[in-house]
Amino acid sequence: MLAIQNSTPMMDEVDISVPINKIPEVLTRIEELETEVKMRIPSFGHAGDGNLHIYLCSDKDSKDIFAQKSKKVISELYKKAKEVDGNMSGEHGICYARQAYFEDYYGQDYTNLLREIKKVFDPNGIINPDKIFPLK
């Protein structure tokens, strides 16, 4: 990862997990996205558990263009992960960075269920407030 960071002025990272037998299909989609958005997208991962670390690298784009391209790539990666019965995070979690994608990925009913469970254990909202999803 450090080599990737040192190779580009702007970078974002996504980690998804997918069934092991679907890794080649996801890697093919990553290659397609590289061409579609004209962005380097190196990836590596833990083939034994289907966890992929995907890096979005920009060498020449402005910050705004990089943000636009990254949003498209991240959306497409999550779409592919869901299509192959994967998950939108393998190790790194959701936190603030990927909050905007959570409800789209898992659906409103599931997200609301998680909010209600959180309220049972943290009625005052003091444990990691607004992480993963705002409690509303």
Is 101 contained in some domain? yes
Lowest mean pLDDT among 3-12, 25-34, 102-111, 122-131: 3-12
Residue 94, pLDDT score = 74
Q: Are residues 70 and 14 part of one domain? A: yes
For residue 105, is pLDDT > 80?
yes
Give the range with max mean pLDDT: 39-48, 80-89, 95-104: 80-89
Q: What is the DSSP letter of 40?
A: B
Q: Are residues 74 and 11 part of one domain? A: yes
Q: Are residues 118 and 73 part of one domain? A: no
Q: Which two tokens stand for residue 16?
A: 């998804």
24-76 pLDDT, tens digit each? 999 999 999 999 999 999 998 887 899 999 999 998 899 999 999 999 999 99
Going by C-alpha positions, the residue among 11, 16, 38, 40 that lies closest to residue 26 is: 16
Is 133 contained in some domain? no
Count structural domains, the chain.
2
Residue 5, pLDDT score = 63
CATH number of the domain that 57 lies in?
3.30.70.2740
Is 7 contained in some domain? yes
Q: Are residues 15 and 68 part of one domain? A: yes
Q: Are residues 104 and 77 part of one domain? A: no
- Domain that includes residue 120, residue range: 94-126
